[in-house]
Amino acid sequence: MEKQLHAGHPLGACVHRADFQRDANPISADQARRALTGDGKFFRACEFCRPDTALQIPD
C-alpha cells in the first residue's frame, strides 16, 4: 500500500497487488480486502494492477 499523497488529498492511499513494482508497504490480502471494501475516502485500488479484481471484490 502506498501512502496517501498528502493529508486532505481527495484520493485515499493506493492499494497495489504484491507483484506490482511500486515503493509500497506490504499488507496481507485480508488487510487489502478490508481496506478496499471500506470507505473509498481512505483507500483505493490501483487502476493499473487492479488488486480489487485479483481479490475478487465486486464493483
List per-residue pLDDT tens for the chain, 59 residues long.
887 677 777 778 899 998 887 778 899 999 999 999 987 778 999 999 999 999 999 87
Residue 6 is given by DSSP the state: S
Q: What is the pLDDT of residue 47?
A: 92
Q: Which residues contact 17 (CB under 8 A, 6 or more apart)?
A: 46, 49, 50, 51, 54
What's the pTM?
A: 0.80
Q: What is the pLDDT of residue 27?
A: 92
Q: What is the pLDDT of residue 22?
A: 74
